[in-house]
Structure 1
Amino acid sequence: MEKNYLRYAPQWFAGIITSPRAPVAALPNTKEVVCGAGRDVVCWRVRTGERTRTLRRGDETDLVGASPLDGPRGEVVAVAAAVDGSIAAACASGLVRVWRGDADTPQAHDHHRAAVQALRWCPFAATLVTGGANGDIVLIDVVAERASHRLVGHRAAVTDLACLGDWAAGSDGRRLVASTSRDGLIKIWDARMQHCIQTITGAGGGVAVGIDHDPESNRVVTGAGDRELRLWRLDVDAEAPLDGLGSIKRHAMEPCQQLRFVAPRILAALTHGRTLELFRVRGAADAAKKAKRRARRRREKGLTDENDEVAAADELEPLSIITSEHRLRSFCVVAVTSSTVSLVLSTRTNELELRDASITSQMTRKGSVADAADNAEAAVRTLQLPGHRSAVRAVAVSDDGAAVASAASKCVKIWSDDARLLRTLDAAKAVLAVAFLPGGRKLVAGLKSGGLLEVDAASGDTKEARDSDGSVAHAGAVLALAVSATAMDTTCVVSCGGDPLVKLWTHGDDGLTHAKTLPIEGEECLAVAFARDARGRKDGFVCVATTDHCVRVLYADTFKFKVSLYGHSLPCLCVGGSSDGKLLATGSSDKTLKLWGLEFGDLRRSILAHDDAVTGLQWLRGTHYCITTSKDGSVKQWDCDRLETPFVQLFRRGHTSEVWSVASNPDGSALYTAGADRALRCWARTDEPVFASEEQDAQLDATLDKLGDGLDEVAQPGASGHIIPAKTSHAAQKGAERIAEALELAQGEAAVRAAALEKGTQPPAPSPLLLGMAPRRYVLRRLGDLTSAADLEPALLVLPVDLVAVLLEFLADALDGDESVDVELCARAAALSLKLHAREVSAHAPLRRPLLKLRDALRKRLDAERALFGRNLAACRIAKLRS
């Protein structure tokens, strides 16, 4: 019988306020900001610094094997909020998820074959428009939970989108989608006709990067790679809806990054630098007066005015300039008054800044503010404390597991085991290594400058350790630390780094005292760890990994050489020994994990562990289970006693970038990982069993799924030739297999019952394979397991044609019966099956037989559903009038 293990599942994460790849969005009427945080979405109330909500992808319960959404492809790269509070988030893989209202389980729409670069809700929150890095635009009907159209025309990534025209439900007005792209084109699409009706060229810098529409002034503004903002007059019913009015130069020299109307007639333009500029769109009368004054001044100077009409410079007037200390990524508006607008700016350093800017005064011609007192923007709050400014290079856990320390940039943050930030300890230089001293009250931090700090976690007091001659601990950066309470009579610390020295320090009442120094023949030291002796009672050895690809094993008490471990083709980045002293593990840049015996230095096993360098490892106490992290963004568990492949499980739904460090609490019930995505993640051991063979099969399936990402689009048969916005995947294949299995079982059971009726015998009892259900009821249950249209469409797309006739027959029987069925599900499955296989159905008689019965039954059911909805709607209107 195969051995089973216990699964580690994601429990919480900390350290990320907002991802630099995803823009922020404001929830209407709440003063909350929606941000991408790695692979999750979080809501912040910036004024109070409170994280109010964390939206997960809804598939955390499905943790079997690997997924194409793990690693960088699972990072949230775009978010958008609708007027009704719905939230949309897009991943780098092209997956789009939509949370409607307070729902915790999102809709999933996987229609893009590349990362989604732009998201835009229609004014009534019924349609979500998405733009991909490959130039495709997909319109998603979030009410029907399906993609309605795919618009193909751009040759490069879509940078921004805007919904123009009449998007009200039931309206026959013209619906337009405006898109900008890195190919330098601005396109206007008719959403009903699925056709491009206008293409505008000539974007400055060859890139069009932003577009937005102001309904009050009926103006559209676009940005580009140059300094100019271009103004357009919108006429929805015209053959060419956009009519150019000219351009105006911005104050900043950097290219435009984002454009939004933050209030009626108030435009905000964000650059790729540290500047956000505000403009006002003048009314028609004021713009005409401005144009007349401009013409009069030109005539006074003896210049002939070529055009006396209103231009962009007459309609757009600069208001104010907002600057930040850091490079800005995006902005959103959270509140607007008659005189000020409250903006939230997201920076590329993991911060949110709340600013109040005046919108009453105007700037002079030179760019200075005419009334500085009224126009001065105020920094209300900066949300930065809960976040790391850079990649987290090290993580450590206290002896009792109650505190976790993470080292990033010039600080060390201490967290509780339930994600609460306890303290932030600042350092003069970047911190590269951290370790708790026994007792958990103090910790040791290694700096990039070579310093070694002893830090009191409670008070924040620091004390720098000095060498015997009074110099700093190391001449180069301190890259690794190891702490032991059993190697000597007192607590000792071993440090190593950029200089070819390994130093032993003892800890007492006076702090860290230098005890021994071992030179390593001109080689830099990359990792160090204590290892147990053969009896497993104390830390008898010190293992040092150097840049010459070997690991030196030293006696801990004397620093005398014991053995060198050769075998890696690239330098080792991590080293660690099991708690019983029988095995030593080393992880290297050559992507391998090697297991050694400490007594003779013999190589026991070599494992190709990851797709990139192995950066960290952690043994679970009392076992031969090893946890490894890698620059490929993955975390894996290994059973080093397994005779076959030692791989146990892949930690899913984790980091979106390189993982640099891993640590465990004493009993191994919780693991902590940290990486370049600035996140500290906690993994909790659950009661769910894990079988290594299933994990390996799932990893293979995920690999095959990646190979199918570049499949060509499937054209819809028929006269229209439109492209079906669906994408096949391993999940779709699994869904089709379940439907096919259900159809075959139900068909066989129906044949047995029909034979019994012909013979006049008693029908057999319901088959246990059908869960005791009638055949058609079992088929509908399997269809219902595909929770959304985004899952149903790809599954039916790969369903064999011969089973389509069986499915249509069961749908016709179910709709023609008396029992209650999900009419919407049946109608959707029938319509999509016929749309996909129109030619086969028209050419094959057995496929046409159930159509008449299906048409009559479906029409009857839909009429009943329509009448029911009409009565409910009338009742709601009456209740509203009475209230």
Structure 2
Amino acid sequence: MGVTKQYLRVAPGPIFGIVASQKSNIVCFPGIRAQSFRCAVGACENVYIWDLTLKEKVLTLPGEKHEVTAIARSPKTNFMAVGYADGSIKLFDLETCQSDVTFQGHKSAITCLAYDASGLRLVSGSKDTDVILWDVVSESGVFRLKGHKKEITQVTFLNQKDVIVTSSKDTYIKFWDLGTQHCFYTVVGHRSEVYGFLLLRNETRLVSGSADSELRVWDIHYLEDEVETATEELPAKRRKLETDKDISDVNLGESDDEKDEEEKAADEAMRILTCKKVGSVMRQGRDRLVTLCTDPDQRLLLCHGTDKHLEVFQLPSSDDLNKLKAKRIKKLRKKHLDSGQDVDTASVQLKLEDEIKFMERFKFSAKLWSLHCCLDSAKQLRFCALLSDNKIETGLLTLDKQKCTLGPVICLSQAGHRTDVRTLSFSSDNTTILSASSEEVKLWNRDSLQCVQTFACDYALCSMFVSGDRHALIGTKSGKIQLFDLNQGLLLQSFEGHSGAVWSVAPMPDKRGFISGGADHDVKFWNYELSTDKNRETKQKVLTLEHTRTLKMDEDVLCVKFTPDHRLLAVSLLDNTVKVFFVDTLKFFLSLYGHKLPVTCMDISSDSSLIVTGSADRNIKIWGLDFGDCHKSIFAHDESVTCIEFVPKTHLFFSGGKDRKIKQWDADNFENIITLEGHHGEVRTLSVSPTGGTVVSAAHDKSLRLWEKTEEPLVLEEEKEVEREKEEMESLLKEGEEIVPGETSEEVKMAGKKNIETVKGTERIMEALEIYESEVEKLKLSKSSQGASYTPHPMMAAYKSATPTDFVLETLRKIRASELSGALLSLPFSYVTQLLPVLDACLSHRRETELVSKCLNFLLKIHHGEITSNHVHLPVIEKLKDHSTTAVEHHRDITAFNMAGLTFLRKLVEENNSVVMFADATSKRKKKKRAMLAVK
């Protein structure tokens, strides 16, 4: 039996180089300090909270592996809801930056989130077309609303009524009554996808935006109380018609028209409101709407499309509109004064342009992705814009009588690149990381991950540190080779290295120079030289480059590499081959062919014995440099291989591809050691540190990630077993949506969904019930046979449970409230019949009344038909009825007694001290906070 080879695990490290992702919205809010202003943005799987005044990151809300797609902040509490690409939602406490609540209900990415005015309920919309209402207090889903046919674009609560408003790409805006769980009204006036809407003027006006440049305005009319009273009778009548449908058809002889009229009347009576289009306001932008928002005082309306422009509209108050109307009436009377005609004041009506006035259009440095505005800690109106180039801009908005001005704009951009990073390099001392993109080069401190130097460059394709780490070379798309002084942050010289793009540079093993390969079919050799700088008075020696010789090729050169022993030179060409030459004579030695597409990356091991090549054909080939034979061809990635590099002094290497994965391989036994998943875009490049303990990678998601070697051993067999279990669990979850007994409505469904945690919860309940049955039998035997000792199950000891009933109750308690319904739903009926007596025992002893009642009500609702059809279960149901009533009444009496005691104590304190308790808190809650806009 061979010796199992062990490796050390490579674990994900910190993320840096990203300001904000373009998959999520931005949320701004006042900071704790005076004059401070903060914003929350998605940054891959995390949420960053930036202090825009200090231009620094103050908080990080950690995610797991899925990208952030939506953010919402609670209006009353210090919580933030974060939606992810897998459909999950987490609630974070901003004080601890931890999440104890996770909602699992959607099947695809969350697109929008919204809290109600109290912050106790949360509504979410997703790409799966569903809308789900969540109870934040009970940490569980309430119900799922189905009705839209395409992706949900926005959701919000209607505070005057218990109503949710939703918009979708199916061109509809729907109003949902949360009491009846029914869509009672649909706005159908849009011709294309609805991307957002706003509620204005005390929720009596609706402004919506779609794929055109038109903002449609709707008047919301709330129906009178007598109409609402009529709805109480008509639904019952409709139910009677539906129940007795066949009887009415035969006996009553009603026509189809009469039935349709009655059903139509019932639907109209169930309406809470109606919407009527009053007009449209045109935006100057021609593209689709992206964001539509207003300030807290609703004085300004801000919107933008997919371009660089922000449009601002003024929303005059009711008093201003009344003054404008009175002014027009006065002008009309003055006009008709000489003629003696009567003035019809009813004919003087305000136009829609008077209510929504275009004011200004501001241009930003890049395309706008998301926008939000609020009051800062100084009660000034600020906006916060998330731009498409990994940048955040914020500024003051000041409203004059006829003009809106934009104050000084603060730009947060230093922490990342504007475009994708195309090349990475480690310094020889492992303390500095160089990253370069199409517009700039950045130097990062390895320990603090802070950007320490930034300087402009041309479109960078490759890079390397010069010996001594005081200079760096950048190969550009234009063919130039740029030499930078890193200490001074200056561009020393720019050399016309190639007539085409410089695709690769590689240092010589003796560190006296480097080689470059370009699209002009040339491989050029360069030496470092010191020359006198003629532009300086001190005649200081500066580093320069000297071109020594050129190797002509027949195709574009994509990659070049030296062997560490300085004997061979490998050149990757556009004809899918790799040519190997002797360095001293430049004579041809080997041709490595076998790839079906060009080799995009390659590297040579430290002992100069192996070369690995990665290609756009998704394969990695391992070659021997002695005879040029292919040791192994590996189908490595699901997309093109973009980067590859050996770990120094080993035969281990890392590869990255457009499939967003980084993989570690062993070139000796051709095994995939570990797959590192974390990037949310195609991996562009990676670099291994000189010590081999750290890997840095860059991807299309604008992020730079560190991967660090740990001391934890990794065994391949165990990793493969974990992968198999993961695949089995994923296949189990893909079996389809569970059918809920008794659920007949196509419009309302259960909020939760089957996931790994609910499956584990079901298994834990089943295991607990099996242990319960065995422990009960053991207790009976120990009581019947005197002197026999009873030894509880080890799991009971671990849960610190004295009795089997306590053990089952503790198992239920350890399941999260958001996953309890899903776990009970998957529980087989045979286990349900075992669980009911246990719940009855808990209620009889008044243990965890709320939790037990919740489980009991859910199980009886789901399995109502099976339980009531079998007389065996009736005695248990009778006991549950009595015990649950007694337990709930006892719970209610305790609550009422405590409330009465607290009320008595409050009155006693008020009488003795002549004060009114909670007066300040009550007045603050009732007082509306309004923006202090400077009006000149």
Bin the TM-score by the shorter chain: 0.7 to 0.9
* 2:472 alignment partner, one of 443, 461, 479: 443
Query: Which residue in 2 is equivalent to 1:842?
Result: 868
| Cα root mean square deviation, aligned | 3.4
- Alpha-carbon distance, 1:39 to partner: 1.6
Does 2:701 match 1:649? no
Query: Which residue in 1 is equivalent to 2:121?
Result: 127
Letter in 2 for 1:503: K
Query: Which residue in 2 is equivalent to 1:793?
Result: 821
Paired residues, number: 829
- Alpha-carbon distance, 1:260 to partner: 1.5
**CA distances 1:450-475 after superposition (whole Å, capped 9, x unpaired):** 11122222211223364xxxxx1111
Does 2:151 match 1:117? no
Does 2:280 match 1:247? yes
C-alpha separation in 2, matches of 1:871 and 1:478: 81
- Change beyond 3 A, Cα 1:190–1:5: farther
- Alpha-carbon distance, 1:525 to partner: 2.2
Question: Which residues in structure 2 correspond to 1:135-534 (within 5 Å)?
Answer: 135-166=129-160, 174-203=161-190, 205-214=191-200, 216=202, 218-236=204-222, 239-272=272-305, 273-288=307-322, 290=324, 309-335=349-375, 341-362=381-402, 369=403, 375-464=404-493, 466=495, 472-484=496-508, 487-488=509-510, 490-509=511-530, 510-521=543-554, 523-532=555-564
- Alpha-carbon distance, 1:571 to partner: 1.8
Does 2:793 match 1:767? yes
Query: Which residue in 2 is equivalent to 1:618?
Result: 645
**CA distances 1:57-114 after superposition (whole Å, capped 9, x unpaired):** 2x4xxxxxxxxxx5xxx22122121212321222222222221342433222221122
- Alpha-carbon distance, 1:724 to partner: 1.0
**CA distances 1:640-664 after superposition (whole Å, capped 9, x unpaired):** 3447xx1222224x11010111122
- Alpha-carbon distance, 1:36 to partner: 0.8
Contact 2:150–2:169 at 8 Å: present in 1 too? yes
Structure 2 residue runs without a partner (length 5+): 225-271, 337-343, 531-542, 910-915, 921-936
C-alpha separation in 2, matches of 1:570 and 1:747: 64
Query: Which residue in 2 is equivalent to 1:170?
Result: none
Question: Which residues in structure 2 correspond to 1:857-876 (within 5 Å)?
Answer: none
C-alpha separation in 2, matches of 1:710 and 1:740: 21
Identify which range, 858-867 or 182-191, moves more after superposition: 858-867
- Change beyond 3 A, Cα 1:526–1:767: same
- Change beyond 3 A, Cα 1:750–1:624: farther
Does 2:601 match 1:565? no
Contact 2:293–2:373 at 8 Å: present in 1 too? no
Contact 2:578–2:591 at 8 Å: present in 1 too? yes
Contact 1:713–1:724 at 8 Å: present in 2 too? no
- Alpha-carbon distance, 1:34 to partner: 0.5
Contact 2:308–2:368 at 8 Å: present in 1 too? yes
* 2:98 alignment partner, one of 105, 113, 117: 105
C-alpha separation in 2, matches of 1:291 and 1:361: 17
- Alpha-carbon distance, 1:756 to partner: 3.4
C-alpha separation in 1, matches of 2:839 and 2:616: 57
Query: Which residue in 1 is equivalent to 2:682?
Result: 658
C-alpha separation in 1, matches of 2:528 and 2:472: 11
Contact 1:35–1:42 at 8 Å: present in 2 too? yes
Contact 1:135–1:156 at 8 Å: present in 2 too? yes
Structure 1 residue runs without a partner (length 5+): 60-69, 167-173, 363-368, 370-374, 467-471, 533-537
Contact 2:299–2:317 at 8 Å: present in 1 too? no
Query: Which residue in 2 is equivalent to 1:171?
Result: none
C-alpha separation in 1, matches of 2:524 and 2:384: 48
* 2:20 alignment partner, one of 13, 18, 41: 18
- Alpha-carbon distance, 1:199 to partner: 0.7
Letter in 2 for 1:420: L
C-alpha separation in 2, matches of 1:743 and 1:881: 50
Query: Which residue in 2 is equivalent to 1:805?
Result: 833
Contact 1:713–1:723 at 8 Å: present in 2 too? no
* 1:55 alignment partner, one of 53, 56, 61: 61
Contact 1:320–1:358 at 8 Å: present in 2 too? no
C-alpha separation in 1, matches of 2:168 and 2:274: 18
C-alpha separation in 2, matches of 1:529 and 1:845: 81
C-alpha separation in 2, matches of 1:161 and 1:504: 61
Does 2:78 match 1:85? yes
- Alpha-carbon distance, 1:267 to partner: 3.4
Three-state SS of the structure 1 residue aligned to 2:91 is strand
Contact 1:266–1:278 at 8 Å: present in 2 too? no
Does 2:75 match 1:75? no
- Alpha-carbon distance, 1:554 to partner: 2.8
Contact 2:27–2:73 at 8 Å: present in 1 too? yes
- Change beyond 3 A, Cα 1:337–1:850: same
C-alpha separation in 2, matches of 1:152 and 1:116: 15
- Change beyond 3 A, Cα 1:795–1:629: farther
- Alpha-carbon distance, 1:358 to partner: 1.6
Query: Which residue in 2 is equivalent to 1:553?
Result: 580
C-alpha separation in 2, matches of 1:807 and 1:530: 70
C-alpha separation in 2, matches of 1:439 and 1:848: 85
C-alpha separation in 1, matches of 2:893 and 2:425: 63
Question: Which residues in structure 2 correspond to 1:685-764 (within 5 Å)?
Answer: 685-700=709-724, 702-703=726-727, 708=733, 711-712=736-737, 714-715=739-740, 717=742, 722-760=748-786, 762-764=788-790
C-alpha separation in 1, matches of 2:703 and 2:894: 50
- Alpha-carbon distance, 1:440 to partner: 2.5
C-alpha separation in 2, matches of 1:559 and 1:421: 43
Contact 1:592–1:609 at 8 Å: present in 2 too? yes
- Alpha-carbon distance, 1:52 to partner: 0.8
Letter in 2 for 1:841: I
- Alpha-carbon distance, 1:428 to partner: 4.1
Larger Cα-atom Rg: 2
Does 2:665 match 1:638? yes
Does 2:45 match 1:39? yes
- Change beyond 3 A, Cα 1:572–1:282: same
- Alpha-carbon distance, 1:688 to partner: 4.0
- Alpha-carbon distance, 1:295 to partner: 8.7
Three-state SS of the structure 2 residue aligned to 1:206 is coil
Letter in 1 for 2:393: E
Percent identical across equivalent pairs? 28
- Change beyond 3 A, Cα 1:836–1:425: same
Question: Which residues in structure 2 correspond to 1:580-619 (within 5 Å)?
Answer: 580-619=607-646
Contact 1:634–1:655 at 8 Å: present in 2 too? yes
Does 2:698 match 1:674? yes
C-alpha separation in 2, matches of 1:340 and 1:319: 19
- Alpha-carbon distance, 1:269 to partner: 2.9
Instruction: Give TM-score, length-normalised by structure 1.
Output: 0.86
- Change beyond 3 A, Cα 1:80–1:497: farther
C-alpha separation in 1, matches of 2:446 and 2:616: 31
Letter in 1 for 2:360: S
Query: Which residue in 2 is equivalent to 1:881?
Result: 917
Instruction: Give TM-score, length-normalised by structure 2.
Output: 0.81
Letter in 2 for 1:650: T
Letter in 2 for 1:40: N
- Change beyond 3 A, Cα 1:571–1:101: same
- Change beyond 3 A, Cα 1:289–1:606: same
